[in-house]
Structures are given as C-alpha cells and as structure tokens.
Amino acid sequence: MIRFNETTGVFKLDTKTTTYALRVYQEGYLVHLYYGAKLPDDDLSHLMYRGWFDSLSPWAHGVDDPLFSADIVPMEYPTNGAGDFRISALSVRGRDGNTVTDVRYVGHRIFKGKPGLTGLPATFGNEDECETLEIETEDPVTGVRAFLLYTVFEDSGVMARSVRIENRGEAAVELERAYSACLELPTMDYDMVHLYGKWAKENTTTRHPLAHGIQAIQSKRGMTGPNHNPFVALAQKHATEETGEVYGVSLIYSGNFSMEIEVDTRGCPRLLTGINPTDFRWRLEPGESFTTPEAVTVYSENGLGGMSRTLHRFYLNHLMRSVWAKRKRPLLINSWEAAYFDFDGDKLVEFARAAKELGIEMLVMDDGWFGNRFDDHRALGDWKVNEKKLGGTLKQLVDRVNALGVQFGIWYEPEMINPDSDLFRAHPDWAVCAPGRERSMSRYQCVLDMTRKEVRDAIYEQMVSVLSTANIAYIKWDCNRHITEAASLALPPERQGEFFHRYVLGVYDLMDRITTAFPEILLENCSSGGGRFDPGMLYYSPQIWASDNTDAIERLSIQFGASLAYPIAALGAHVSANPRTGIETRGNVALCGTFGYELDPGKLTAEEKEIVKAQVAEYHKYYELIRYGDFYRLTAPTEDPFVCDWEFVSEDQDEVLYTRVIMRRPENLYQPVRLRGLDPEKYYEDEETGQVYSGALLMHAGLDLSTAGGRWLQDGASLKKHFIAR
C-alpha cells in the first residue's frame, strides 16, 4: 500500500512486513526517512534529521531550517555538486560543461500494477499484486527530469526501484552517474555481506564490518563477471542466518555495475546501486530519455536466511518469466565432460541410449557441432551444422535421439567470434576493438559488437535457421570472455561512453528475440561457469550454470553463496566424473540445484548405474520440495571446517529434506543437528527409520546423527534424511 500525506509531505510505502518512507521537504527536497520493519505510524517526518551540521556544510537555499543541509540529511536520490559532498546517485554534465545537478520534487502519481522497463529485464506483477509510486523531479537549469519509480509488492515484502531520466531542456546533456537506487541508514552497526570469486570458485561469501569511508564492489568487465556479484546485504553485527536485521539489495543487470557504500562522519551509511560510472557516459539530446536497471530491496528481521527465502520466492514469482520457471524441467546429461570436442552423431546416440536406460530425459550436445570447430581456436560465429561430423543433418541426429525417448539440447556462444572463422573474414569490423589498438585475445576469441543491430540480426538469423530445422528443446548460452579495447565503430566519438550499456542492451535484445521465437525452449545461461550469474539473466533463463567446477566439496561454498540471493531452482548443478567423492555425495550436492549429469554414462560401473537410477528417482520425488520449498543453510562450508548442512521445508511445513556432507572427518564423532522452519506442533516421521519426532524436538533438541553409523563420517561422505508430517 502506498499513501501520501499532503500535510506532512510524507510518502509511506507498506508491505505486509516492511515500511519505506520519504518526505517532500521545503523547496522540493526529497528526504529519506525510514526503511525497516512495518510501522503503524503515519507521521515519520522527525526521522529526517542527523544532528546539527558544522560550518563546512552549506545551507540549503530557501530552506528555513537550521538543522537542514543536503550534506547531512539522508537524501532520497542524492545529486552531485549542489551541497551534498557524499557519493551521488545522479551527475549530469550540462551545456556549460559543469556537472552541478540538483533535482527537486515537482509531482507524483500512484497507480496499481507495475510498468515494464523498455529494453531491460525487470520484475513483473499484476494490479492485485503490486502498486507503483512515480515521483517526478526536475533540475530547472539543465531541464533534466528524473522520474523515481518505486513498486511495492505487498505480499512478497519486496520493493523494486528504477529511475527514468528525460532531457526536456534545449541542449544536449551527458549522464555521468545514473544509479538505480539509494538506501540511507541511520547507523553503521552493520556488516557488509557480498559474494566474490573467480573462475571455478564463484560466489564465495564474505562478511566484514562497515567502516568510515567508501567501500564498493564493482565490475567493469562488460559483464557482471565472477569476481563480484551484483548483490549486497547489510546485516546487523549480531545477525545470524535466522535472527537479526538484514537489508538485501540485488541489481537486475548483466553489465558493468557498482554497489557503493559510504559511511559519513556521523556513522550513517549510504548505499548506491546501479551502472558502474567508470567508462559510462550517456548523451541525451533534447527529448531523449534513459532508463536505469531495476534494483530490488528486501528487509528481513529473520536474518540472512529470511532475506534469502524472500528473494527466492520473489524471483521465482516475479522475475523468471520463462514458461520453465514453474514447469517441471527435464533431467539432462551434457556431453562436454564426457567427450569435449571428440564426438560424432553415433557417439551422441550411444550417450542418449545409455542415459535413457538410467532414466535421464535429455541429451545436450555441447561445443563442437558447427563449422570447422574441432577445438576452441576456430569457428565461433559460423553457426552452421557440421553435417560431416554429425554423420547427417541435425534433424536426422535429433530424430534418432528422440526415437529413444530422449529430448535434445544444443550449445551456443552467440556473443563471440574467432578470428579463424568465416564470419570474421567477412566482417572483421564486427569484432570489438578500439581503433588503433591491438586486440587482447582470450580463449582464442573476440567479442562481437552487440551494440550493432546488423550483428545481432546476423547471429539471430543463423540461430533460427538451425533451431527451426529440428526438435531442439534446450539451449545452453555460453559466454567465455570479457570485453577489452571497448569501442564500437558504429558509435560516434561523443557516444563511445555508451558502449558498455548498449552492449548489454544488445544481448538482452538477442535473448528476447530467441526466447520469443522459441518460447518452449529451455534456456540455460553459462559464462565459463557462473561468470554471469545475475538477476538480469534470470529474466530470460530460469537456470544458470553455477560453476565449471563440478567437484562436490568445492561446489558447497559456490552453491551456498549463490543461494544468498538466487533460488535453488536457478542453480545449475550436475553430477560429474570427479573422483574426489563418491557418486552418492556428488548426487546429494547436485540435488541442491537443478540436477543433471556431466559424464559418459557408458563408463559407469554396474553399481554406479544403480546409484544413478536411485538418484533419478529422488530427482522426481523431491522436485517440488527442492524448487519451491524454503531453503535453510544450517551449517555453512565457509564457517565450519568439517561439515555442511542444509534443509528444504515445504511451504505447508509437511515435508522436510535434510542433507549433510562431510568435507573433512570431524574430530568429534557426536554429531547433533537442529533443524529449522518446522511446525513445532506437528509430528514428523523419519522415512528411513520410521521414528517419529515433534517439530519442536527436531528444532530445539535436534537429531543425533552419530547413531547413523560411522562409515558416513568419512571424508566426502554424505547423508540425507526425509521427514513427512503425520
């Protein structure tokens, strides 16, 4: 619910669990008041003050208030150069060359539902699910108007924010900073929690106290990248998985991003999220507009776990638009780790035949099916089926696989090009490179200039010509390098600062066209593993490959970290041939994700085949519980050197699946564990033993896992328990 009090100038935005408030103050200043647990009070205007300002803080012109200075009070959408010396959300260079920016309130409207964002992925909801506030602000000197959008999803307890900037002046202006949202807090008694990593070690959780000064996570790689994820949480110092206040901020964007936090001299944090201003400059001619990516904010009184579960449900219901977001997905096996480039049609059919005997439902043909592609040195961009390699047409191969009762998927890397390719030889200017610069090579490939429509059209037409000839049920969309020497030959010098954002818009355009043309195809994103694991991708693909590292022990921290912001249904996870742990544990870890296989089924032993059949049965048995139940991180692999525990609880609290993995043999063989999220009044039967426990006992006294026997306590072993309410 959104209300505006004309007397106090206070906007109050309520969900079922939270309140967000801001105020229109004298001279049209927009001041932030509060974000946190739901409040019944209507007048929150007294919360705007941060104490008496000092002599170095400028007075606000026309404001008759000795306590007010833009340098001190919490500003709703802070601007550059007009009295607020902290980090700014908006900086516009006007016709005179200076970047002084000062937008003030001129009006607003409140309406049911939520508008989409042109060219950008965004959350969605109908008029019964959400309400939107649009605040119009203006800088009278430059003629720039900033429209601040807030959508409240009342039942979800979530708010989505973005900004539309219009040039209504008479001269062109340049945006140098255009953030999506600002969040002001009254105390620095918080830890910053975020995800860092690298290839094969993505989404590692780190937590550290806020400190005076500026802290930031950013990407300027052209993509979000594995180094930092576009998500941050601010958790009270004493907050745990299930207790304490936590603010979560997630940016729906797949390009260069920045999340900056400045703690001022009064100990008050300001958090900005949006496009990274490094290498960003957007020219707005009179009449043109610019829309920022959308930011999603969550407040939880139930710790990091409460924040995560809110985001999981919200993204499943209001971001993942694919028909496969809620439709049961096929259980697949991917050819990559089984064959790499060394395959032909007969080998793939044999993979499919062996996989079908195990209950696997789809075969994915990975890299190597097109052009002159026998290694990673050549042929990217030449998306024509190599019929000699496959032993016939793609349709013939797919029909052979389908005849076995197995669906067929295919790998693409649409954004990339090898210099050794027909496409490059025909259009060398389509590869990104600044004029006069040597190209930096990575994996023997370059990046296609997705800012150019003719490039996107050419790739789209090639993809359609392949996808429309056979019964393709799945696409793995890969992206195996980042952007260097960034420039577009199609952009004039004054617009080169738009390249990175236009590149992302181009990728979104191509993904949108493919998913619109083939809405029944299941799209999975990948970027050398989890290098582009972000909410923008979730809008187009309901699952994302979490990491090229398929070692079960390493996957624990990767998947736990990703679960801070992303639903388990989105985490691409497979059982591979990695020998570090037994296939049982590899299956248990992959089950905490989309689940699938990445191995040669013909090389499995008879015993392993029986285990795989049992895992396939569990995939179907627990499908709804894992994808749509509540996820609890019981023991994090980054905090305990020995064990990792997690749990799924159905929404009605009638079903529970608990898993423990032994990373390293514990020193203490007494292994108790307390479950979470159960109904204390219900009784739960252990499916394996028949023992019945109250929910209260399982949560407060716990289970003694040492009675399960000692063999499972060995390194790399694992254990699952399934409970049903009786």
Name the residues annotated as catalytic. 478, 548
Closest CA to 407 of 333, 512, 457, 324: 333
Contact call for residues 369 and 324 (beta carbons, < 8 A):
no
- The residue among 532, 611, 526 whose CA lies nearest residue 573 is 526
Q: Can you say whether the dihedral through the CA atoms of 692, 696, 698, 704 is positive or negative?
A: negative
Separation of alpha carbons 151 and 290, rounded Å: 19
Structure tokens at 270: 């300001």
Residue 500 tokens, joined: 């990175």
* Beta-carbon contacts of residue 666 (< 8 Å; ≥ 6 apart): 642, 643, 713
Q: How far apart are CA 363 and CA 354, in angstroms?
A: 11
Instruction: Annotate 591-612 with b (16+ C-beta within 10 A) or e (fewer).
Output: bbbbbbbbbbbeebeeebeebb
> Nearest to residue 577, comparing CAs of 363, 336, 332, 401?
336
Contacts of 236 (CB under 8 A, 6+ apart): 189, 190, 191, 244, 245, 246
- How far does the chain reach from its first CA to its final CA, in angstroms? 39
Q: How many Cβ atoms sit within 10 Å of the Cβ of residue 492?
A: 9
Tokens of 621: 């048995």
349 neighbors 404 (Cβ within 8 angstroms) = yes
- Give the full edge-to-edge strand order of the sheet including 407-412: 571-572, 543-545, 522-525, 474-477, 407-412, 362-365, 332-334, 596-598, 575-576
Please tell me the number of Cα atoms within 13 Å of 436 on its side-chain side. 0
Per the structure block, which two tokens stand in for 256? 């260069």
SS3 annotation, 345-376: HHHHHHHHHHHHHHCCCEEEECCCCECCCCCC
Cα(296)–Cα(279) distance, integer angstroms: 24
Percent of the chain that is helix, strand, coil (3-state, to 5) = 25, 30, 45
